[in-house]
C-alpha cells in the first residue's frame, strides 16, 4: 500500500531541462545532489523558496517572470526522483530533506531567515508545510504560502480519515505552524478538493488570508491575476 501511495503522490515525470538551464546550481546532500534554480535579482527583496507540484520539474519555471510578478527573488528545486536530482528514490522523507538542505544553502548564501518565504503548490504544500513547522518549532521567522493544499495524500485519493502509510499530512502539521499563512485555492479544483482547503484554513493559528479563485480548477490557477496579486501582496507586506 505504501508504494502505491508514494507513486500516486510522487509519480515519475519527464525531465524537461539539462545542465545548461540558466541559474542552475546543485546543493550537496549525503544521498545525492539537489538541482536548484536560484534567481537573485536584488538583495533588498525577499526570497521565495518554492516547492513545486508532483507533475513538473524546475525546467518548467520562468524564474525571471515569477520574480517580477511576485517582487521577490526566486528559488525552486527538484525533489529526489525529479529532474537532474542524482537521488532517484522519490519519497516523503527525501522531499523533506531536500527542502531542508536548500533552506540551509540559502542561509549560507547570506540570506536572512526573516527574508525567506516558503511556497508550496499541490504536493509541494506538504513539503513547504514541513519546513514551516520545523522553523516554527525553533522559533525561526518565516511566512508560508499554500496553493491548492490538501489534508493528506490518502484524503486526496479516497478521503478516508486515517490509513496506515499516509503521506504529507498537512492536517497534523497545521496547528504547529504559527507563522503567517496565505492559502489560495480554485473552487472548481478536481484534484485537490477545495473543501479540504477550507477545513485546513481553520487549523492554522496565524492564517492571514484565504483566497478563493472562482471558476478555476487545479491547473489554471497560476495563470490568474488574483493568484499573482495575492502572492505579491503577501510577499511585500
Q: Could you give the residue numbers annotated as active site?
A: 122, 189, 218
How many other C-beta atoms can be found within 10 angstroms of the C-beta atom of residue 141?
13
> For residues 178-215, b (16+ Cβ closer than 10 Å) or e, as one string?
bbbbbbbbbeebeebbbebbeebbebbeebbebbebee
- Which strands make up the sheet holding 32-39, listed edge to edge? 24-29, 32-39, 73-77, 47-51, 116-121, 143-147, 181-186, 207-213
Q: Are 119 and 51 in contact (CB under 8 A)?
A: yes
- Kind of pairing, strands 32-39 and 47-51? unpaired
φ, ψ dihedrals at 22, nearest 5°: -60, 140
| Kind and range of the H or E run holding 56 | none
Neighbours of 53 (CB within 10 A): 20
Amino acid at each position: 500500500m505504501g508504494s502505491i501511495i508514494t507513486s500516486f503522490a510522487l509519480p515519475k515525470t519527464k525531465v524537461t531541462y539539462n545542465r545548461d538551464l540558466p541559474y542552475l546550481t546543485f546543493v550537496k546532500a549525503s544521498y545525492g545532489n539537489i538541482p536548484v534554480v536560484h534567481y537573485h535579482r536584488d538583495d533588498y527583496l525577499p526570497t521565495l523558496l518554492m516547492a513545486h507540484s508532483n507533475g513538473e520539474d524546475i525546467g518548467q519555471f520562468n524564474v525571471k517572470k515569477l520574480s517580477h510578478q511576485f517582487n521577490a527573488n526566486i528559488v525552486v528545486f527538484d525533489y529526489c526522483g525529479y529532474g537532474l536530482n542524482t537521488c532517484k528514490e522519490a519519497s516523503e522523507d527525501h522531499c523533506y530533506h531536500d527542502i531542508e538542505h536548500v533552506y540551509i544553502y540559502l542561509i549560507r548564501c547570506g540570506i536572512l531567515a526573516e527574508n525567506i518565504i516558503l511556497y508550496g503548490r499541490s504536493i509541494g504544500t506538504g513539503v513547504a508545510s514541513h519546513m514551516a513547522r520545523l522553523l516554527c518549532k525553533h522559533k525561526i521567522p518565516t511566512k508560508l504560502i499554500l496553493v491548492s493544499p490538501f489534508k493528506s495524500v490518502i484524503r486526496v485519493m479516497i478521503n478516508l480519515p486515517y490509513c496506515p502509510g499516509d503521506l504529507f499530512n498537512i492536517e497534523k502539521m497545521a496547528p504547529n505552524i504559527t507563522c503567517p499563512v496565505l492559502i489560495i485555492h480554485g473552487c472548481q479544483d478536481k484534484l485537490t478538493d477545495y473543501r479540504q482547503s477550507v477545513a485546513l484554513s481553520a487549523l492554522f493559528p496565524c492564517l492571514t488570508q484565504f483566497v478563493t479563485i472562482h471558476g478555476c480548477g487545479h491547473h489554471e490557477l497560476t495563470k490568474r491575476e488574483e493568484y499573482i496579486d495575492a502572492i505579491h501582496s503577501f510577499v511585500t507586506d
